[in-house]
Amino acid sequence: MKENNVIVEKSKSFALRIIKLSDFLITKKLFSFADQVLRSGTSIGANVREATEAQGKKDFTAKMYIALKEAVETEYWLELLYESGKIEKNAFESIVEDCREIIRILTSITKTAKHNG
């Protein structure tokens, strides 16, 4: 795996934030939300990490597309949590901005991979 890989680092850092959010949601007895956001939010980094050991460009692109889809799903769950009043505005804005940055990076990676593939 290439050192200083921005998307690998950002997606792992984001997953750690998502774990903390999930723990918070569990304390509020919001188990379904906690499970959904934990699954999609940590899946981003797992798929990115898998892509670093892909068996070719097609495999790499497929894993990055899955990571992108998981990031978009996570953004949805975060929006629902905020818009339903389950998390505060400042917490939402901080974590959703990280999510949207990851979406931008993954969109760029997948467009480049598709174009060069």
Integer Rg of the chain from CA: 15
pLDDT at 67 over 60: yes
- CATH number at 6-116: 1.20.1440.60
**What predicted TM-score, i.e. pTM, was given to this entire model?**
0.93
Residue 4 has pLDDT above 70, yes or no: no
**In 28-117, alpha helices (H):** 31-51, 57-83, 89-116
38-54 pLDDT per residue, tens? 999 999 999 999 999 99
Give the pLDDT score at 15. Answer: 98
* Average pLDDT over every residue of 4-25: 96
| 8 A C-beta contact, residue 25 and residue 86 | yes
What pLDDT does residue 1 have? 47
